[in-house]
Structure 1
Amino acid sequence: MQHSVFINSSCRMSNSPNLVIFIPDQWRGDVMGHLGNPAAVTPNIDRLVSEDAVSFSQAYCQNPVCTPSRCSFMTGWYPHTRGHRSMNHPLTRDEPCLLRELKNAGYYIWWGGKNDLMSDEDAFSELCDERHLPEETHKNLHIDQSWRKGTPQKPDFSFYAGELKKNEGEDVYLDSDWSHVLAAQNFIESYNDSRPFCVFLSIQYPHPPYGVEQPYYGSVQRNQIPSRITAESTHGKPRMHQQLLDGLGLTDKPEKWWSELRATYYEMCARVDDQAGILLTALQQSGHYDETAFFLFSDHGDFTGDYGLVEKAQNLMEDCLVRVPLIIKPPAKAKSQSGICNALVELVDFPATVYDMVGIKPKYTHFGRTLLPLLKDPSGEHRDAVFTEGGRCDKESHCAESDDLDDPTNLYAPRARIQTEDFTAHGKAVMCRTHRFKLIMRLYESDEFYDLEKDPNECINRINDPDYDSERKDLYQRILRHLFETADIVPQTTQARDIPQSHFPLGNAISRQLTACH
């Protein structure tokens, strides 16, 4: 396939790198082999980090669910900046977006995968040149729920599917993710246009339902998976924890069952690692590898059994939900180092890094900080704190998820019902995390404070412990300053005020006198 298009020579960016932006959905930051997890099967990513890329071990998203997080990392805004705190409020066409900036600067944009970003389907023509759509026959576990156990009287809300089987007569298990990845591979291998390209590939996995096909299913050693944080060790947690425990109905599951669910999630991550390997191989075989920047990160994490829960919640901020993978391989000319960087970084830093890398000065205010210095020196520092936020106010019932509450078997019915019926449990919250401490400030409930050095599993809420008075005060002040600095943005396009001169008679008289003096 040839992608030849006419472009104005003033837009030509022959020296700009190609970009591959690969975004798995709901990948926890701790399920990678090179970060020391013995059960993680991620050889392609591990090799990339050892040779050509930097892995940011302390990368944090700005919201623990899909749409608000994506609105944030595609703009460089925090969710509160323009009210993108809800699954129901994606970006609108009048708001900035990284892909639009790249397209306007002369990039050829190829989009494959899920949306969860834009509210208007017509906006895609402004964001990309080519959009891949899978066949309707490709599998989707959210639509076809034949894998679910339980009954209408006692629905199953575990999201556990287990081994996925190929249809009779099929050689492979073909779902929309595989369709998008293989289409991206074909695009990379056949691209020969004069413009630099940007592949934006946003897939579904390892988002639950927790299910995967052979050869991935059964490939993870169960006895190597780190111990689960149990529901019994969550004293001092907010209402949403208990409401989810009650609504999901998973408290009677044996540990062996949880082990299988967690292993399946790890195997879903192993499949994504294979898909990353396909993209990297396509870059190498097509000769684009050295001139391409490769980004891999997730929008947020997943409970995967920790605290007795599955999936995620909009205002819970344990590290398993807000810490994400972030891998960056710059083009060869950047002469960067490879390895692991332990600096605190945020996903709002992603667009700032792209803008810096390709030489774009966006015409809007954003809050990201470029990561290019850390690619040259991964031992450096970046931020002294990171922030995540979510939830809603009492009067913001429109922020609750809009799933069909009349369908008792709906996968998201328990979570949506809590958000709709209990604004306290779904109340607004903001997290400030340093390397050692985490403070979660809650609008309607008691705040949370954790000493992550002594309590890495965030099980002991020390919000009332007098031994930490000064540390809590410091984080409260950081939150105040953060919200003050990022509360809003002033558009960079100014409009002249059309005010009649007659409104300023005194000023006009003074002006005439000054003119006469000269």
Structure 2
Amino acid sequence: MSGKKNIFLFVADQMRNDSLAHMGNPASITPNLDDLVSEGVSFENAYCQNPVCVPSRNSFLTGLYPHVSGHRTMHYLQREDEPNILKEMKNNGYEVIWIGRNDVVPADRTKTEYCDEYYDGITNENMRDAENNQMNHSAEMNEESKKLYDKMLSGDTYYSFYMGKLPDGEGYGKTDWNCVEKALEYIERRSKESSDKPFFVYCTISFPHPPYACEDPWYSNIDRSKLPPRRPNIQEVPNKASMLYSINERQELNGWSEERFDELRGTYLAMVSRFDHQVGLIKEKLKKSGLYDDTNLIIYSDHGDYTGDYTITEKVQNCFEDPISNVPLLIKPAKGLVVEPRISKAQVELLDLPSTIAEMAEIDLSYTQFGKSLLHVVAGDEEHKDAVFCEGGRIHGERQAMELGHGPESPYWPRLSTQYSEGPEHTKAVMCKMGDFKYTMRLYETDELYNTAEDPMEINNLAVLDEYQELVQKMKNRVTQFYMETTDYVPMKRDKR
């Protein structure tokens, strides 16, 4: 094997940073993720660049902000000429294994240029030369899961995404187990092979993405009485984004008791705890296979989830409260890299991952990107970026960004029907966080500014107050600088004239 170290990415879907025990959640059970803080770094202030799946993944796999290439919706995936860290690693001599979720490559293209092997988690066969097989909930529903799902789609649970206790792990959620099993099989295989190639594994699973459902022992292990306070109903909070008020009205959860929300939130934490258990399986397999010390382990989520905060579930595309924008990010470096184990307060972005991976692999990326390697923070530096950004939404008239075609029968209808509106709800916005202050510039409605140290629930919008206008202008200036720095980049390939 070459002297280069292996890299293993294990990615959750829709996991919020404050769902981890070492981030202060008293009801959370995440011992494996917590233990990583003793040998790596967990980032308290890590932010995604868009709070929904496709735009976020297109950003953290490239190092480009969503606005650079127009990735602002779920329906526009990567074009053939766009860069991607998987492609970079394959072209630089790594054996690239892609397991699980896609949300990146369109269904009419194969993944051959991105990886050496691909497993979708459904068929669990090597799909390298087949068309993309997107994971979906119906593909993993057995009879018992389907009963719970149908029960969810009734009464005042219809738009809640709450399913509850699964009878076992054989139906809904089975895809994730398949993905983890394939990852374990690959590690076992590599431990017995003599290969000159280091490996790069991108294993990306579905939990804790709604519907909120989990099997025992994780479901029953979460003590609902220890849950932290829920953020207040959005109807009680003035000067927030109109998107939130509209979703709240359409989800029809305002009549729920606190006990019911505690059950939903507890089930979500059970899904997080199951993910943590799977992290433990991967760590243990790497150790038993003798590969742990030579492997950089990076664990994170694409974005977060409201989970009942503001009396809203799921996520949105153009709001940036911490539950959906502040994500877990943990890095356990391979032996030989300098590390100061801790929880870091440095402000970082998921967009920093390609640059970080490139430094780990000792390669140069073949394209312009806007991330900055995190290895100096892993080594102990607490200064990284003065500002971090998250963005989304559209301009008026941009029908292709509305994600049309979903009726009231879809549990996503409250959000998606709001996206169809030509009011201000689904319009462009960008978040800029600098230290304790989080500012959101909105194209068609009131801006937002929160002091997250004094107002961690992001309730008191300071942008409407005269005494904060100087700070608002400072943040606007930083957003202007951000867009000037990142609006586009000159293509790497020069054309003939």
Superposition TM-score tier, normalisation by shorter sequence: over 0.9
Q: 1:67 to 1:359 in 2, by over 3 A?
A: same
Q: 1:140 to 1:283 in 2, by over 3 A?
A: same
Within-5 A mapping of 1:49-64: 49-50=37-38, 52-64=39-51
Pick from 220, 223, 229 the counterpart of residue 221 of structure 1: 223
Tell me how far 1:453 sits from its aligned partner. Answer: 2.3
Report what 1:36 is aligned to: 24
1:337 and 1:423 map into 2 onto residues whose CA distance is 49
1:200 and 1:315 map into 2 onto residues whose CA distance is 27
Larger Rg: 1
Pick from 316, 322, 326 the counterpart of residue 329 of structure 2: 326
Q: Is the 8 A contact 2:153 2:159 kept in 1?
A: no
1:173 and 1:248 map into 2 onto residues whose CA distance is 23
**1:359-386: CA deviations, max 9, x gaps?**
1211211000001111111x52101111
Report what 1:428 is aligned to: 428
1:383 aligns with 2:385: yes
1:173 and 1:438 map into 2 onto residues whose CA distance is 37
2:404 and 2:41 map into 1 onto residues whose CA distance is 39
Tell me how far 1:202 sits from its aligned partner. Answer: 0.6
Aligned length: 478
What RMSD over aligned residues (CA atoms) do the two structures have, in Å? 2.0
**1:375-433: CA deviations, max 9, x gaps?**
111x521011111100111121111124432xx22111221111113442101101111
2:332 and 2:409 map into 1 onto residues whose CA distance is 43
Pick from 61, 73, 79 the counterpart of residue 74 of structure 1: 61
Report what 2:473 is aligned to: 473
Q: 1:160 to 1:411 in 2, by over 3 A?
A: same
1:204 and 1:420 map into 2 onto residues whose CA distance is 26
Secondary structure of residue in 1 paired with 2:147: coil
Secondary structure of residue in 2 paired with 1:430: strand
1:392 aligns with 2:379: no
Q: Is the 8 A contact 1:152 1:409 kept in 2?
A: no
Secondary structure of residue in 1 paired with 2:221: coil
**1:9-64: CA deviations, max 9, x gaps?**
xxxx81211111011000001111122221111001111111x2110110000000
1:355 aligns with 2:343: no
Q: 1:121 to 1:200 in 2, by over 3 A?
A: farther
Report what 2:182 is aligned to: 183
Report what 2:11 is aligned to: 23
2:317 and 2:275 map into 1 onto residues whose CA distance is 24
Tell me how far 1:450 sits from its aligned partner. Answer: 1.2
Q: Which amino acid aligns with 1:182?
A: E
Report what 1:206 is aligned to: 208
Pick from 361, 366, 372 the counterpart of residue 375 of structure 2: 372
1:440 aligns with 2:440: yes
Tell me how far 1:140 sits from its aligned partner. Answer: 6.0
Q: Is the 8 A contact 2:406 2:417 kept in 1?
A: no
Tell me how far 1:92 sits from its aligned partner. Answer: 1.4
Q: Is the 8 A contact 1:163 1:217 kept in 2?
A: yes
Pick from 194, 197, 200 the counterpart of residue 196 of structure 2: 194
TM-score between both structures, scaled by the size of structure 2: 0.92
Q: Is the 8 A contact 1:155 1:409 kept in 2?
A: no
Secondary structure of residue in 1 paired with 2:89: helix
1:353 and 1:270 map into 2 onto residues whose CA distance is 27
Of residues 126-135 and 37-46 in structure 1, the stretch that sits farther from structure 2 once superposed is 126-135
Secondary structure of residue in 2 paired with 1:80: helix
Tell me how far 1:150 sits from its aligned partner. Answer: 6.1
TM-score between both structures, scaled by the size of structure 1: 0.89
1:250 aligns with 2:253: yes
Report what 2:291 is aligned to: 288
1:415 aligns with 2:415: yes
1:352 and 1:186 map into 2 onto residues whose CA distance is 28
Q: Is the 8 A contact 1:29 1:323 kept in 2?
A: yes
Q: Is the 8 A contact 1:93 1:120 kept in 2?
A: no
Tell me how far 1:146 sits from its aligned partner. Answer: 3.0
Report what 1:510 is aligned to: none
Secondary structure of residue in 1 paired with 2:68: coil
Identify unmatched segments of 5+ residues in structure 2: 126-134
1:492 and 1:78 map into 2 onto residues whose CA distance is 17
Q: Is the 8 A contact 2:436 2:451 kept in 1?
A: yes
Secondary structure of residue in 2 paired with 1:122: coil
**1:298-352: CA deviations, max 9, x gaps?**
0000001100000000111101110000000111111312111100001111111
Q: Which amino acid aligns with 2:77?
A: P
Q: Which amino acid aligns with 2:242?
A: R
Q: Which amino acid aligns with 1:477?
A: N
2:440 and 2:292 map into 1 onto residues whose CA distance is 42
Secondary structure of residue in 2 paired with 1:421: coil
Tell me how far 1:142 sits from its aligned partner. Answer: 5.0
Identify unmatched segments of 5+ residues in structure 1: 1-12, 498-518
Q: Is the 8 A contact 2:418 2:426 kept in 1?
A: yes
